[in-house]
Amino acid sequence: MTNTIRAEVVTIGDEILFGQITDTNTQWISTELTNIGIRTVRKSSVGDQAEAILAILHEAHQRADVIILTGGLGPTKDDITKKTLCDYFGVGLVRNEEALALVTGFFEKRGRPMTDLNRGQADLPANAVYIQNDWGTAPGMWFEHDRGDDRGRVYVSLPGVPFEMKNLMTHRILPRLQAYFQTPVIKHKIIRTVGIGESFLAERIADWEDSLPPHIRLAYLPSFGQVKLRLTATGQDSAQLDRELAALVDEVMPLIQQNVFGFDDDELESVVGRLLKSKNQTLSIAESCTGGFVSAQITKVPGSSAYFWGSVVSYSNAIKSSQLGVKPETLAQYGAVSEETIRQMAEGVRKTLGTDVGIATSGIAGPDGGTPDKPVGTIWIACATAQRTVTRLLKLGQYRDQNIQLTSTYLLNLLREELVNQ
Q: How many CB atoms lie within 10 A of CB 261?
A: 22
For residues 209 and 163, state if they share a domain: no
For residues 211 and 168, state if they share a domain: no
Q: Identify the three-state secondary structure at position 42.
A: strand
Quick one: pLDDT at residue 37? Answer: 87
203 near 256, Cβ under 8 Å?
no
Angle of CA points 268, 274, 279, to nearest 5°:
130
For residues 207 and 322, state if they share a domain: no
Would you give the DSSP letter of residue 171? I
For residues 162 and 199, state if they share a domain: no
Element (H, E) at 306: none
**Nearest C-alpha neighbor of 7 from the set 28, 35, 30, 36:** 30
183 near 191, Cβ under 8 Å?
no
CA distance 405 to 361: 12
For residues 115 and 259, state if they share a domain: no
307 near 276, Cβ under 8 Å?
yes
Quick one: pLDDT at residue 74? Answer: 64
Residues facing 186 on adjacent strands: 234
Q: Could you read off the pLDDT tens digit of each residue along the chain, which spans 422 residues?
A: 446 899 999 999 888 889 898 899 999 999 999 888 899 999 999 998 999 999 999 999 999 999 999 987 766 555 688 899 999 999 999 999 998 888 888 788 778 877 777 788 889 999 999 999 988 888 899 999 875 555 679 999 999 999 999 999 999 999 999 999 888 888 899 999 999 999 999 999 999 999 999 999 999 999 999 999 999 999 989 899 999 999 999 999 999 999 999 999 999 999 999 999 999 999 999 999 999 999 999 999 999 999 999 999 999 999 999 999 999 999 999 999 999 999 999 999 999 999 999 999 999 999 999 999 999 999 999 999 999 999 999 999 999 999 999 999 999 999 999 999 99
CA distance 285 to 313: 8
Tell me the per-residue pLDDT of 319-360, one tens digit each, with 9 for 90 and over: 999 999 999 999 999 999 999 999 999 999 999 999 999 999
Of 181, 203, 221, the last residue of a domain is 181
For residues 175 and 32, state if they share a domain: yes
End-to-end CA distance of the chain: 54
Quick one: pLDDT at residue 76? Answer: 59
C-alpha distances in angstroms, 219 versus 60, 73, 188, 189? 27, 37, 11, 11
CA distance 107 to 49: 29
Quick one: pLDDT at residue 2? Answer: 46
CA distance 405 to 402: 5
313 near 292, Cβ under 8 Å?
yes
CA distance 153 to 62: 10
CATH number, residue 54: 3.40.980.10
291 near 364, Cβ under 8 Å?
no
CA distance 226 to 223: 5
Quick one: pLDDT at residue 73? Answer: 74
Quick one: pLDDT at residue 102? Answer: 84
The pTM assigned to this predicted structure is 0.77
Residue type, 240: Q
For residues 90 and 28, state if they share a domain: yes
Domain that holds residue 40: 5-181
Of 147, 162, 181, the last residue of a domain is 181
Of 241, 263, 285, the last residue of a domain is 263
Q: How many CB atoms lie within 10 A of CB 107?
A: 15
Quick one: pLDDT at residue 367? Answer: 94
Quick one: pLDDT at residue 113? Answer: 79
For residues 23 and 130, state if they share a domain: yes
For residues 346 and 277, state if they share a domain: yes
Q: Where would I find the H helices in 49-154? A: 50-63, 81-89, 97-109, 116-119
For residues 347 and 274, state if they share a domain: yes
Q: What is the DSSP string of 315-330?
A: -SHHHHHHHH---HHH
Quick one: pLDDT at residue 418? Answer: 97
CA distance 260 to 257: 5
CATH number, residue 393: 3.90.950.20
For residues 353 and 397, state if they share a domain: yes
Angle of CA points 171, 5, 232, to nearest 5°:
80
Q: Which residues contact 129 (CB under 8 A, 6 or more apart)?
A: 141, 142, 143, 144
C-alpha distances in angstroms, 384 versus 346, 351, 356, 378, 387? 6, 10, 8, 20, 8
Q: How many domains does the chain divide into?
A: 3
CA distance 345 to 335: 13
Question: Do strands 389-395 and 378-384 pair parallel, antiparallel, or not at all (unpaired)?
Answer: antiparallel
With 0-12 / 13-18 / 19 or more C-beta atoms within 10 angstroms meaning exposed / middle / buried, residue 250 is: exposed
Quick one: pLDDT at residue 114? Answer: 78
Question: For the chain, how many helices (H) and strands (E)?
Answer: 17, 17
Angle of CA points 176, 180, 186, to nearest 5°:
80
For residues 232 and 307, state if they share a domain: no
